Structures are given as C-alpha cells and as structure tokens.
A and B are shown apart, each in its own frame.
Chain A
Amino acid sequence: MDKQLQDKLLELFTGKLSRQVQLYLDTCSRCGVCSDTCHVYASMPIPKYTPAYRAEVVRRIFKKYFKAQGKLLPVLGEAKILDETALDELKEAAYSCTGCRRCMVYCPFGIDTQQIMSIAKLLLIGANSEPEILTMLADMSISKGESIEESKERFIEGLKRLETDVIDKWKIKAGKTPIPTDAQNADILYVALAGAHSIVPAAAIFNAAGENWSLSFFEAVNFGAFVGDPAKTKLISDRIVNEAKRLKVKEVSICECGTAFRVMKHLSGPQPFKVSSLTEVHARYLREGRIKLDQSKFDLPVTYHDPCQMARNAGVIDDPRFILQHLTDDFREMAPDPKYNWCCGGGGGLVALGEETLDFRMKSARVKADQVKKTGAKILATACENCHTQLSDLNDHYKMNVEVKFLSSMVADALVH
C-alpha cells in the first residue's frame, strides 16, 4: 500500500474516533464472554468469528497509529501495520458481522462491535475494496433521488396496477385514491420498498384505519448504511426527509425494513416529524380501535423473529407481540427472549449481496434455524425485508417447515370489515 493511500485511510480512521469509539477500542479485556453470543461463532466455532477477534483487527491498527505504545514499541502492543493484508482481514471481519449487536448486550463493558466494524467498512470504501454491489446500489438510490421528476410518472403508473389488489383487501369510498401520493399535510408519509408486497397490505391497512396518508416516491432501503458510507447514507435518507418536509407531514412511517427504520429514527438527526415503524403504527391502530382483526384467521402456531435493527437496536419489541395477540391464540415466543434473540444472519448487507454470500449465510445461522424449530411454530412472522429473505432461505436450507410471513401481510389479511 502506498503512503498516500495509507494517509488517506488513517484520516478516515481519525474521523471515526469519537470518545465513545475510543473507549470501545481501549477497553476490551479479552474476557471471551462475547464469543458464544455471536450467531456466526455459535454456528461455526472458528476464532476469527468471535466479536473480540473482529474488533481486534481494527484495534491493532488503532494501537499502531493512534497510541504511544504502538508507535514506539509496536510488538508489545500487538500493533498492526495498515497494509493490503490488513485490508483483507478488515473485509473478512466487517462482512462476517451483521451488526446485530447481540455481543454488545452480553459484553460486561457494553462494547459496540458494530461501531468498530463501521471503521473497518469505511477503510474498505477508502481503499475501493468494499463489495462493489453495495456501492452500486447506493449510487442507484442517490441517482433516483436526483432525477425523481423524471421517474414520478412511471412510479404512479406502476401504482395504478396495484390499486385493484389494495381494494380487494379493503374497499374504499368511490372517488378516493387507494394509494395516494404527493398529499400535502398528510398525517403519515409511508416509505415502502419497491415491491407490491411492501405497498399493497400497508395501503389496505391505512385505508381501513381511515388514515390521511401519502406514499413516498422513494424506497426506504438504505444501501449506504449497508456498505458503511456515512455520506451516501445521508444522501439517501435526505431524499425522504426532504419529501416529508415539502409535504409538511406529521409522521414518517418506515416499512418493514429494519435498517431503513433505524437510519431514519436514530441517524437522521432531529426532524420536524415523528418517525415510526409500520409495526408501531399498526399496534397504535389496534389500541385506538381504528382497525379490528379476525383472531381465527391463522389457525396454526405462530412465532415471531425480532429484526435486530428494530428490536435490540431500536426498541420495537412489545408492539409486534401486541399485534400478534390479535392474530392468533397460539403465539410461541422464541428462547432466549427478544433482547437476546439470535440474528437471522442476513443483516449488514449480506442478503443484498445475494448468492455471493448464500453459503456463509446458511452456515452462520444454524443457531437461528434451531431456535425456530424448537418453537414448533408453522408460521414464522417477521417485520423486515432482509430477515424475511434470509429466513426464507434458511427455511429451504434447514427444512424448518414454516411459512415465513410479513407481519403487515398477516394484519392486512385478517382485517375485519
């Protein structure tokens, strides 16, 4: 690695060194508690898959360039030079971690490995060594934001083809638009994904609740966050923020996409609107009596997978269970409980990388498959697109014998007229 690139990467590293991150990098006592908490290590017990090992790859570079001992006596501090080999190790560490933060809740010091891995991801971007697919997808999202006026017509045309499906689920008064867009002063701006599965059930439920809502022109998913690029993450979420401000909406509700929700809720800074997940909105409608559900609609045992970015990392734990109380008499909680639930193994951009990561995703999530099987459930509900894709792959691979369903689609199918 030439000095110019090394200097550039160290500048990027410096930019990530908040007091919080420095504490994480200084603190690890190598107690080993985190090892078994990682689904990857628990499924494939190889030392490089422990959270402490992953963090150590970054920590040794930190010691070499940012600590006096590492600069003067690098051998004593196990300091590591930032070179091509280090980049390979950073990639292995960063892209074998889904950012689920299960290790963090067990760590006696609360070390956030996800934040340490965000340094690794940023260094990889700086060296043009990140998975190029993720950067390509992020660039595509940004490009869409820059040319929204050109694509609005195509988008609205596409929505017209979904209107019949929405009305089939919930009839609306003549003259009302089943999927409104560009509605000024809407109470809710709903940000969906590109597919009909993310739009149709949600639209039917908004209409059933008599909501004053509008569908965003942008998809919720934030590939900038997956690849760990703070600038692109912001550009992608700003598309939605600016639309919400232009329409003067009171609330932005993010579809069943855990990362999109966490980015908007916790990383987009103070905004003049409330941010909620679709799951929280549905629970609210039930509490307020704005929708009613047929509890006999699903007569098979149901379990729920907590998306890490919604539950452990954003606190949406009780609402999905409250909704499920209205959908089934036979809800089976997974063990351990939600805060300590196993990650599905598909986060951190791994699902978006598709077949490239399939073998690793299946091997590294064996504990998740075992956890689901133990419930005896036949319906596996979840509220995240990434998790849904990964759980469907696990269902095929491990023959879990469940039907993987989005919570919102269950709510829409059980609406009582």
Chain B
Amino acid sequence: MTEQLNSDKELDLKGLPCPMPIVKVSKGIKDIEIGQVLKAVTTDPGSLNDFPAWARSSGNEILDTHQNGEEITFYIKRSA
C-alpha cells in the first residue's frame, strides 16, 4: 500500500547531516499546497526521530516512513 503513495514534490536529502534534512524539509513543504504530499529521502539516522518530532511541532503529518539500507523515505502531508 505504501508503495502506491504519490507525491507532489520530492527532496533528495541524502548525505546531508543533521539538522539540514529538517531545515530543507521545513522550507520545501511551503512549496506545496495544504493537502499535498512531500517525499523526502535522507540518509541521516537522526531523521527517524527528528521528522516525527518536527511534524508534530509544525502541525504536518507523516503518512509513511520506510527504510531501504541507509536510505530513509518519508511521505509528509502538508497539513498546516
């Protein structure tokens, strides 16, 4: 089911250290409309905790997270 998620914008954040993935996601999500979905791919292990915490504090919603080796993919719905 998660593989079928469509996104309206993608961010390649691979190789960026903390806090840059969150910095770029918080800027990138403003480029889509409320209700649209942002796909972000990181390799920063800290993002597993950072992204949910950021989503909660910024009022956005993480629809799905999956890992493939070092790559972590988030699907984030802009809700605020």
Contacts and interface: CB of A to CB of B under 8 A. Distances in A.
B19 to A, nearest CB: 5
B26 interface: yes
A193 B45 CA distance: 11
Contacts of B48: 151, 154-155, 157-158
A141 B18 contact: no
Contact of B53 (A133, A144, A161, A221): A144
A136 B58 contact: yes
Interface in B13-54: 17-20, 22-24, 26-27, 44-50, 52-54
Interface residues of B, number: 22
A221 B49 CA distance: 14
Contacts of A144: 49-50, 53
Contact of B45 (A140, A142, A150, A196): A196
B52 A150 contact: yes
Interface residues of A, number: 29
B50 A194 contact: yes
Interface string A121-151: 0000000000001001101111110010011
B54 A136 contact: yes
A289 interface: no
Given A144-B50, A195-B45, A196-B45, A219 B18 contact: yes
B46 to A, nearest CB: 2
Nearest to A199: B45
Given A193-B18, A352-B23, A219 B46 contact: yes
Q: At the interface, is chain B mostly helix, strand, loop or mixed?
A: helix
A194 B18 contact: yes
A369 B36 CA distance: 45
B57 interface: yes
B9 interface: no
Contact of B54 (A140, A150, A154, A353): A140
A147 B48 CA distance: 13
A315 interface: no
Nearest to B20: A354
A151 B54 CA distance: 13
B66 interface: no
A353 B23 CA distance: 8
B53 to A, nearest CB: 4
Contacts of A155: 48-49
Given A194-B50, A223-B19, 7 more contacts: A141-B53, A143-B53, A157-B48, A194-B47, A221-B19, A353-B23, A354-B23
25 contacts: A133-B26, A133-B27, A136-B54, A136-B57, A137-B19, A137-B23, A139-B57, A140-B57, A141-B53, A143-B53, A143-B54, A143-B57, A147-B52, A151-B49, A151-B53, A155-B48, A158-B46, A158-B48, A194-B45, A194-B49, A194-B50, A196-B45, A352-B19, A354-B20, A354-B24
Interface of B: 17-20, 22-24, 26-27, 44-50, 52-54, 56-58
Interface of A: 133, 136-137, 139-144, 147, 150-151, 154-155, 157-158, 161-162, 193-196, 219, 221, 223, 352-354, 389
In the complex, the 9 A-B pairs of residues with the closest C-beta atoms, listed nearest first: A194-B46, A144-B53, A143-B57, A139-B57, A194-B18, A143-B53, A140-B54, A151-B49, A158-B45
